[in-house]
Structure 1
Amino acid sequence: MIRMADHARELTEGAAQLGIDLNPEQRDQLLAYLRLLHKWNKAYNLTAVRDPDEMVSRHLLDSLSVLPYVHGDRWLDVGSGGGMPGIILAIMLPQARFTLLDSNGKKTRFLTQVKLELGLANLTVVQNRVEAFHAELAFHGIVSRAFSSLADFTDLTRHLSDADTHWLAMKGQYPEEEMAALPVDFQVADSAQLAVPGCQGSRHLLILRRRVQVDNG
């Protein structure tokens, strides 16, 4: 049984600890998403986290923790899976547009249902492999949550970027070995250790930029 009153309190208090003031509509949408995730997870295996009591911290608050680093109007969530962090960010930033990309049909069906039920007009769901996906405009930001190694994350998405794009890689432990394997044209512009309320494990965010050579003809 999902104890929504407890979850609402945990979500509101946890967001406040992150410096985020949720308005009632955002809170209700996040909790509605939590209910859908728990319901569909039974059949679709969207997340290994089965207990809705854990989902508030490990999914909602974890995704909210990167909100201060999300700038720009066009964002891509690669390997979105159950919608973390893309759904949460789309709820919080209705003025920005988010594309949620996943190759798994069950997961994109779930994401489409969330879009419809929550009325997220700023959300686009795409079923495709990232290397086969193309967009008319480069994304301002590309985010992933445990999608792949840093090398694969950057290599597979470079064709969706321009000189202004930045990448947000959500990780657990600080990925020293992965950083050493980054493509030569990428660099770590910044990193942050994230203190996610209710999460016991280590959480880190790496902000990556691409060194783009300008052709002067």
Structure 2
Amino acid sequence: MNNLAADKLKRLLIDGSRQLDIHLDPAHQEAFMGYLTALQRWNRAYNLTAIKDGQEIICRHFLDSLSFLPFLSGISGSVLDLGSGAGFPGLPLALLLPAIHFLLVEARQKKTLFLQHVTRLLGLKNVEILRLHLHKGNGSTEFKIPVAALVSRAVSVPDDVFPVAGEVLAPGGLVLLSATASSREKIMEALSLHENLRLEDIKKVTIPFLEQQRYMIRIIRV
């Protein structure tokens, strides 16, 4: 990536963050650019994400992940990123919330290796990576519970999320899911089967530079 291209991508990141009312200081900006470079390099070898283009990564991964930030206001304790993939939304959030411990759970080895690499690269002391296919019954044996919040992005099979949430969250704990219109309907169907989880609200979220409408679904453990 030449300097001109890097400057253009950094400007996109800064402008998009401002549209989300998020200020990125120079250290944050450099960290995100380092993350982008590492993701593109690893992507060529390991196909971590179908999104390869730098602009698309910034919009569909970085800015989409940062849209969670206002909804985590007041959270204290650990945040579990379930099915973190290449680190979304957990790593961007951990960059901006250094006082919160983030637990990134991912089942695939190549992705957990990448997560470990980026965590070291960015010097993130508040991130723990766990290679695990998390399901009801094994969360309490693999890490310290309860956690304060569970976050997950673009959930396509919510049946996996809610049994885990019921087990690892304390009463009053938060489930925060980012969904498309189609996945929102699946989430609401699945939620109706879990008496220990209650819908708090659904907010429309506009991701800068993307046409697709997103929905932030907040669910409380009762």
CA distance, structure 1, for counterparts of residue 67 and residue 144 of structure 2: 29
Aligned to 2:218: 207
SS in 1 for 2:160: helix
Q: Which runs of 5+ in 1 are unaligned?
A: 212-217
Structure 2 residue identity aligned to 1:6? K
Instruction: Provide closer, same or farther for how the CA distance between residues 153 and 8 of structure 1 changes in structure 2, counting only shifts above 3 A.
Output: same
Structure 2 residue identity aligned to 1:48? A
CA distance, structure 1, for counterparts of residue 180 and residue 55 of structure 2: 20
Aligned to 1:122: 126
SS in 1 for 2:211: coil
The total of aligned residue pairs comes to 211
Aligned to 1:188: 199
Structure 2 residue identity aligned to 1:133? G
- Structure 1-normalised TM-score? 0.92
Aligned to 2:70: 68
Q: Is the 8 A contact 1:130 1:157 kept in 2?
A: no
Cα-to-partner distance string for 1:69-99 (whole Å, 9 max, x where unaligned): 1122310100000000000000010111101
Alignment of 1:176 with 2:180, yes or no, is no
Structure holding more helix per residue: 2
- Structure 2-normalised TM-score? 0.90
Q: Is the 8 A contact 1:76 1:100 kept in 2?
A: yes
Matches within 5 A, 1:62-101: 62-70=64-72, 71-101=75-105
Matches within 5 A, 1:133-144: 133-134=139-140, 135-144=143-152
Cα-to-partner distance string for 1:99-142 (whole Å, 9 max, x where unaligned): 10011010000000001111001100000111233322311110
Alignment of 1:46 with 2:48, yes or no, is yes
Which of 107, 110, 120 is the equivalent residue of 1:106? 110
Q: CA deviation at 1:147?
A: 4.1
Aligned to 2:9: 7
SS in 1 for 2:91: helix
Give me the identity figure in percent.
Answer: 33
Q: CA deviation at 1:185?
A: 2.4
Alignment of 1:161 with 2:169, yes or no, is yes
CA distance, structure 1, for counterparts of residue 120 and residue 208 of structure 2: 29
Q: Is the 8 A contact 1:78 1:147 kept in 2?
A: no
Q: Which runs of 5+ in 2 are unaligned?
A: none
**Runs of 4 or more above 3 Å deviation:** none
Q: Is the 8 A contact 2:94 2:126 kept in 1?
A: yes
Instruction: Provide closer, same or farther for how the CA distance between residues 137 and 184 of structure 1 changes in structure 2, counting only shifts above 3 A.
Output: closer
